[in-house]
Structure 1
């Protein structure tokens, strides 16, 4: 188990796991960006936009991190460290012979087109490779979301395939382009 929560920084951004004090800002972020994000998300839970939902979710995110199951980060601009502009989620941690995880991400509508997601994913994937010692990160995007595909391409993700009806997004099965990034410096741990 990990004892320290990560604080990941880049030139303009700070990424960290949400804490209870963030809950009103998390709810505000999702409420303000609901219409923009809906075409890219699974159907929202009935209570997703409530503080009660996020009290449980923040606690679950913390527990999943310390038990090596996921890493769910909020993105803040360094100049506005109380304003959430996006999320970066590494899910489905698999160890053993695999050492891989899945990546998902979202960015506020007002933060689009400024290079924030590329910057955030650059430092977040470095952390996952160097500190969590994953060998492979997989990220998938819908073919019509070329903006997301361009971000992944800039970061070195390689297209590996095409999956029909891969994920249920906004109530519809959507095809996805499958990509991955490999850690060239992965090392086996003797204690595993």
Structure 2
């Protein structure tokens, strides 16, 4: 199965705006999306732009998805549940989870096996294909710009209200206090 909803030839999905504010306090979702978009050379606030093949952006995309998973399930189950609930085929969901694990533990694509449909996973910067193309017998092509700019953004927009709303203060120093105490 190919991720038919996430095709780079179609218009980008609506994306969550991640504006900066004067308080320097943000939900982790905003920070993660801004970082993923920055690594993929897209607009940090709107997500606009064609994207690139950045493995850093892809790794952050996996962090974004991981945070959206249901913490009451085992990690593999929660990934498959998240992805299949957003209309991704179970075989593609297993492949995405295998890619997530291989990036996390070895910073590279997974080896062919049962979780990849015995396919070699290749990462590409093709912006005019599917996020994951499994139409080939022995190869699964993962378009990094389409994966980050279509698949992840589509899922985030649909699931953002369930995101951990923990706030992070990005201002390391309170500008109202002196940074160093006087002797």
Normalization by structure 1: what TM-score? 0.26
Q: Structure 2 length normalisation: TM-score? A: 0.27
* Higher CA-based Rg: 2
Greater share of helix residues, 1 or 2? 2
Q: Which has the higher contact order (CA 8 A, sep 6+)?
A: 2
Higher strand share: 1
